[in-house]
């Protein structure tokens, strides 16, 4: 073992040895025989082929080439080169025993300019047909996300994309119809949008993700994030109606959306204000989208009361659409990584405050940390919070849950030996799978499957190639793929956890 790897191993052991309680002991609890597992990626993060075969530019192609750089001087022009190496990657998935693979389609690869009157790129269509067919030939079920943060740049140039609800909605409907028409005979699981909260807040308020809207750029951060969220909700509902009426009867697939969210514990469990803050933070984070989409109703009352006129209004026709489509959503797609403490601040908030003056942190009023930190300080091991979020979503929406993303980057993973022998990640994954088992067998929640984030190390948005979330190591100089210990751990653990249930 190298000196650096030994240092990280000792540090990790020290962290875990200081923690007590069953919350951090992996039990390898059982899972249902029909519980599916796989891994997830997104097109921009893994495909590369930025201008290959007629692909158009997305907002991320633009954002990663800004000067000065806002992505650590790095971009995803090549990244994992999945566009040219997908056959190798599918064979790797098969060797690891995966049931399913969650991928996204690059809108600008199939419609380079994005719009409803713009030409289709048949080379892009052919790529996804080949990828889907290769997955099916290897016994791997594709789950396809239509939008994973990469709107065509041309639509942003024309009308600022999500900030023009009517225009975006019409263009997204045409794009979705194209995908359902060309791929829907083989794809039986669809997701409209990935993480609308991140699109709205990180893309259109603090500007840390494309297209980079923020107050410093003289944009209206007081209202724009809520307008973006409104556009996403109505565009999702429109596409769900299209799928239900025009495609589902013959294709027999299912469709939904993926919402991300931390769970929140009160910063001070003795203060009612903090107890309330934890619940309200969940409503602002998850209920913002979940209530209209899954319940067919208006935004949470806590949002309407605090945001007032900043929050767009649903028209009577909008509410009819939401009511008509809420039952079509076949599952709750959950992306979850960690848990935080919520504290209600008493000092006046900024004018464009979007959290209802609630502060979140990894340490509570007693100085206790929520859990051991990964290489990203915000991402802590807190499996009990995951179980609580599963309960919260189930109680509120009563939909089967698909865990569409879950994972972490290991401390010290820049060292190859640490990366391959990723004990921290294996501990994290084991604990979170135990939480799923407890949610199923002790809490009565329908959790249908699990996707690790991510299949392989890739371009991690504004962090570039620093954090490595993959269960497969990628050498970004040679593009060599090497399965990590976590890949084999998941292969074995799912064999064992499901074995006695067959």
What pLDDT score was predicted for residue 349? 73
Confidence of residue 380 (pLDDT cuts 50, 70, 90): very high
pLDDT in tens, 183-242: 999 999 999 999 999 999 999 999 999 999 997 777 899 999 999 999 999 999 999 999
- Determine contact, residues 429/486, Cβ cutoff 8 Å: yes
Confidence of residue 24 (pLDDT cuts 50, 70, 90): confident
CA angle, residues 54, 58, 62, in degrees to nearest 5 = 115
One DSSP character per residue, 208-227 reads: SSTT--BGGGT--TTTHHHH
Confidence of residue 1 (pLDDT cuts 50, 70, 90): low
Confidence of residue 474 (pLDDT cuts 50, 70, 90): very high
CA 451/CA 162 separation, integer angstroms: 28
Which residues are 189's β-sheet partners? 254
**Residue 103: count of CB within 10 angstroms of its CB:** 24
What pLDDT score was predicted for residue 215? 78
Tokens 């009565």 found at: 444
What pLDDT score was predicted for residue 159? 98
pLDDT in tens, 143-184: 999 999 999 999 999 999 999 999 999 999 999 999 999 999
Confidence of residue 9 (pLDDT cuts 50, 70, 90): low
Which residues are annotated as catalytic? Answer: 195, 405
The CA distances from residue 313 to 227, 237, 424, in Å, are: 10, 15, 45
Sequence ranges of the domains in the chain: 3-9+40-499
What pLDDT score was predicted for residue 217? 75
CA 131/CA 135 separation, integer angstroms: 6
Q: Report the predicted TM-score, pTM, of the whole model to 2 decimal places.
A: 0.96
Confidence of residue 18 (pLDDT cuts 50, 70, 90): very low
Model confidence at 373: pLDDT above 80? yes
Tell me the average pLDDT across 360-386: 97
Which residues are 40's β-sheet partners? 102, 453
Model confidence at 2: pLDDT above 90? no
User: Which stretch of DSSP H or E encloses residue 101?
Assistant: strand 100-104
**Length of the chain in terms of residues written:** 502
Model confidence at 350: pLDDT above 90? no
pLDDT in tens, 314-326: 999 999 999 999 9
- Determine contact, residues 296/325, Cβ cutoff 8 Å: yes
Q: Which residues contact 236 (CB under 8 A, 6 or more apart)?
A: 192, 193, 257, 293
What pLDDT score was predicted for residue 347? 87
Architecture of the domain made up of 3-9+40-499: Alpha-Beta Barrel (3.20)
**Residue 317: count of CB within 10 angstroms of its CB:** 9
CA 194/CA 145 separation, integer angstroms: 7
Average pLDDT across the chain, whole number:
95
CA 481 vs. chain centroid, Å, equals: 23
What pLDDT score was predicted for residue 3? 56
What pLDDT score was predicted for residue 251? 98
Q: Closest Cα partner for 150 from 458, 470, 461? A: 461
CA 454/CA 223 separation, integer angstroms: 33
Q: Closest Cα partner for 339 from 293, 287, 303, 392? A: 392
CA 426/CA 489 separation, integer angstroms: 7
- Determine contact, residues 340/370, Cβ cutoff 8 Å: yes
Cβ burial of 420 (10 Å; 0-12, 13-18, 19+) is middle
pLDDT in tens, 256-278: 999 999 999 999 999 999 999 99
Q: For the chain, what percent of residues have pLDDT higher than 90?
A: 92
CA 223/CA 354 separation, integer angstroms: 10
Pairing of strands 141-147, 189-194: parallel
pLDDT in tens, 63-100: 999 999 999 999 999 999 999 999 999 999 999 999 99
More confident residue, 9 or 296: 296
pLDDT in tens, 280-323: 999 999 999 999 999 999 999 999 999 999 999 999 999 999 99
């Amino acid at each position: 073992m190298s000196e650096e790897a030994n240092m990280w191993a000792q540090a990790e052991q020290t962290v875990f040895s200081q923690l007590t309680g069953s919350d951090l002991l992996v039990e390898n609890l059982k899972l249902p025989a029909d519980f599916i597992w796989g891994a997830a990626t997104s097109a921009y993060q893994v495909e590369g082929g930025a201008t290959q075969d007629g692909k158009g530019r997305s907002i991320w192609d633009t954002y990663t080439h800004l000067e000065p750089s806002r992505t650590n001087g790095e971009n995803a022009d090549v990244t994992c080169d999945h566009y040219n190496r997908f056959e190798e990657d599918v064979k790797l998935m098969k060797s690891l025993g995966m049931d399913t693979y969650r991928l996204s389609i690059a809108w600008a690869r199939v419609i380079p300019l994005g719009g409803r009157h713009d030409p289709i790129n048949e080379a892009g269509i052919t790529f996804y047909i080949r990828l889907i067919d290769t997955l099916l030939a290897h016994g791997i079920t594709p789950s396809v996300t239509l939008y994973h943060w990469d709107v065509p740049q041309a639509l942003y140039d024309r009308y600022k994309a999500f900030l023009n609800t009517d225009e975006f909605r019409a263009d997204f409907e045409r794009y979705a119809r194209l995908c359902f028409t060309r791929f829907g005979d083989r794809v039986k699981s669809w997701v409209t949008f990935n993480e609308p909260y991140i699109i709205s807040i990180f893309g259109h308020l603090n500007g840390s993700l494309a297209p980079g809207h923020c107050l410093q750029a003289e944009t209206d951060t007081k209202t724009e994030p809520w307008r973006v969220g409104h556009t996403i909700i109505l565009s999702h509902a429109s596409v769900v109606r299209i799928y239900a009426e025009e495609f589902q009867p013959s294709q027999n697939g299912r469709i939904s959306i993926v919402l991300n969210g931390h769970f929140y514990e009160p910063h001070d469990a003795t203060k009612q204000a903090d107890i309330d803050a934890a619940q309200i933070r969940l409503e602002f984070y998850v209920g913002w989208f979940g209530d209209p989409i899954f319940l067919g109703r208006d935004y949470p009352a806590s949002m309407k009361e605090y945001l007032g006129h900043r929050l767009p209004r649903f028209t009577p026709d909008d509410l009819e659409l939401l009511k008509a489509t809420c039952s079509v959503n076949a599952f709750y797609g959950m992306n979850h990584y960690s848990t935080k403490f919520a504290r209600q601040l008493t000092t006046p908030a900024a004018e464009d405050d979007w959290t209802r003056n609630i502060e979140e942190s990894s340490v509570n009023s007693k100085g206790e940390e929520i859990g051991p930190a990964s290489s990203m300080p915000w991402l802590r091991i807190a499996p009990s919070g995951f179980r609580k979020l599963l309960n919260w979503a189930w109680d509120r929406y009563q939909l089967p849950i698909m865990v569409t993303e879950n994972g972490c980057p290991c401390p010290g993973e820049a060292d190859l030996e640490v990366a391959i022998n990723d004990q921290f990640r294996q501990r994290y994954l084991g604990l979170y799978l135990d939480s799923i088992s407890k949610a199923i067998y002790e809490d009565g929640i329908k959790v249908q499957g699990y996707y690790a984030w991510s299949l392989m190390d890739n371009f991690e948005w504004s962090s570039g190639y620093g954090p490595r979330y993959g269960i497969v190591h990628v050498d970004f100089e040679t593009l060599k793929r090497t399965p990590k210990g976590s890949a084999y751990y998941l292969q074995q653990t799912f064999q064992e956890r499901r074995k006695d249930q067959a």
